[in-house]
Amino acid sequence: MQLQPINELLRQAITAEAELDDRYVSERQIIYTTLHHHHIERFRLNANHQTYIFKPLSLQQQCYQELWTYTHVMPLLPDLYPQLLAYSATDKLSFYSKDDRPAWIILEDAGTLNHFHTEQTLFYMIDQMVKWHRIPILSIPELPGDGQKPSILVMTEQLLSQWGTFEIFVQQHIKPNNSQTRWLHRMPVLKQTIQQHSWTMSEVLCHGDLHAGNYGYNLAGRCIILDWEHCHRNTPLWDLYHLIDLSHPLFPRAMNIDLRLQLLSYYWEQQVNPTISKSQMIQEYVIFAIVFSSWMLLLIQQDLQQDQPIWSHEQLRLQQTEVWDHLEQCIQMWHSTIIDYSTKEK
């Protein structure tokens, strides 16, 4: 008897409405709900009793984006991602497809991931990041130039246009008589630094959304990195910021200046022919992180003003506290550099 290919068995288990068909599957478990309110589910296929991950998508175009990433990018990467086993898209689709039918993909079940990240995990992630940053971007056809968030240039413009609002936020959140906020009187200098800064690091292949919920270890000790569909060309600082400083409402974590410096130094030390010095890269990262975190705080502030935001007000306030803590640390790092320069000039 000829066995039916696994992709056919999996496609058979999905209805025309892009939902799991309970006639063919069992033991359904919701593992995550997306911002578009789609449930990513683990399920057992009755035909072979194996488990898989079902990921519904809003549009066929998103399915093509996933398929394109698995075709053009994933083969160049280390074995750190779940395999794509079945999908709804057809070969006729493209990034510009207008097909608005519901879509889906089915992935290998790599197991339950632990998203509590130790320092060792972060250094391991730097090791892997260096590998994909070395992949020549010219070898990847149609690699997008933008991800799901605005570029750092757009964030900078938006931050500067709301600088007054940002300063009010800072005034309201600094702790009185805190020796670490001696930079407060230098806010005009910080604004000028942001206005005049130009980014110098060359673009690389970026994961694009490397927040704490998109990587972790399974029970077998294998590191898995999820959600590569937002990969694009960008400065290496984009991935570094997501790994080190980006906050997520569902995956809170702490960072400190010493660990941040160690991670950035470790990344720079693995560059074959660095185009800038370690101190220059760290300085550039600090400005990048200040802009990104400040932009995030303004975004969270807007979400808190909504009656029913995507995340609960409690989650947003916790995220706001974390982002503010990371931002303060980066401003302290920037201020220390300013003081060093001032001392040398004297």
CATH number at residue 72: 3.30.200.20
Asked if residue 114 belongs to a domain, the reply is no
Among 83, 108, 133, the domain boundary falls at 108
Report how far residue 100's alpha carbon sits from residue 149's, in angstroms, rounded to the nearest whole number. Answer: 22
Cβ atoms 148, 257 nearer than 8 A: no
The tokens describing 73, both together, are 């990018």
Domain end point (choices 108, 132, 159): 108
Does one domain contain both 154 and 292?
yes
Q: Is 113 domain-assigned?
A: no
Report how far residue 59's alpha carbon sits from residue 104's, in angstroms, rounded to the nearest whole number: 8
Which pLDDT score, from 0 to 100, does residue 66 have?
A: 85
- Note whether 131 and 183 are same-domain residues: yes
In terms of domains, do 96 and 129 share one?
Answer: no
**Do the domain assignments include residue 159?**
yes
What is the tens place of the pLDDT at every residue in 177-204?
Answer: 665 667 888 999 999 999 999 999 999 9
pLDDT at 16: 87
Give the pair of three-digit tokens for residue 252.
């809170």
Per-residue pLDDT at 94 exceeds 70: no
Record the pTM.
0.91
Pairwise CA distance, residues 11 & 103, whole Å: 12
Picking from 108, 133, 167, the residue at the C-terminal end of a domain is 108
- Burial (CB < 10 A; 0-12, 13-18, 19+), residue 192, is exposed
Q: How confident is the model at residue 245 (pLDDT cuts 50, 70, 90)?
A: very high
Domain that holds residue 55: 6-108
Same domain (yes/no): 65, 143: no
In this structure, are 201 and 316 located in the same domain? yes
Q: Quote the number of domains for the chain.
A: 2
Confidence class for position 89, pLDDT limits 50, 70, 90: low
Which tokens go with 230?
Answer: 């937002």
Nearest-angstrom CA–CA distance, 341 and 346: 9
Clarify whether residues 236 and 304 are in a common domain. yes
Q: Encode 151-161: b = buried (16+ Cβ within 10 Å), e = exposed.
A: ebeebbeebee
Contact 148, 209 (CB under 8 A): yes
Instruction: Please indicate, yes or no, whether residues 148 and 69 belong to a single structural domain of this protein.
Output: no
CATH number of domain containing 179: 3.90.1200.10
Closest residue by Cα to residue 233 from 210, 199, 203, 198: 203
150 & 92 share domain? no
Q: Identify residue 114 by its one-letter amino acid code.
A: N
Which among 244, 255, 23, 295 is positioned nearest to 129, based on CA atoms?
A: 244
H helix intervals, the chain = 6-12, 60-72, 119-133, 152-161, 163-173, 187-196, 236-244, 257-269, 278-304, 313-345
Q: Establish if 1 belongs to a structural domain.
A: no
Q: How does pLDDT run across 288-328, given as a tens digit for each residue? A: 999 999 999 999 999 999 888 888 999 999 999 999 999 99
278 and 235 within one domain: yes
- Assigned domain for 59 exists: yes
234 assigned to some structural domain: yes
pLDDT at 207 over 80: yes
**Left if phi > 0, otherwise alpha if psi is -120 to 50, otherwise beta: which for 273?**
beta
Give the amino acid at 22: D
Tokens of 341: 């320069």
Domain membership flag for residue 190: yes
Are residues 295 and 203 part of one domain?
yes
- If you search the block for the tokens 């995220």, which residue do you land on? 319
Question: Any idea what DSSP says for residue 111?
Answer: -
**Sign of the CA dihedral with 72 first, then 77, 81, and 85 last:** positive
Q: Rounded to whole angstroms, how far apart are CA atoms 284 and 195?
A: 13
Give the C-alpha separation, 57 to 307, whole Å.
Answer: 26
Q: Which residues pair with 139 in a beta bridge?
A: none
End-to-end CA distance of the chain: 86
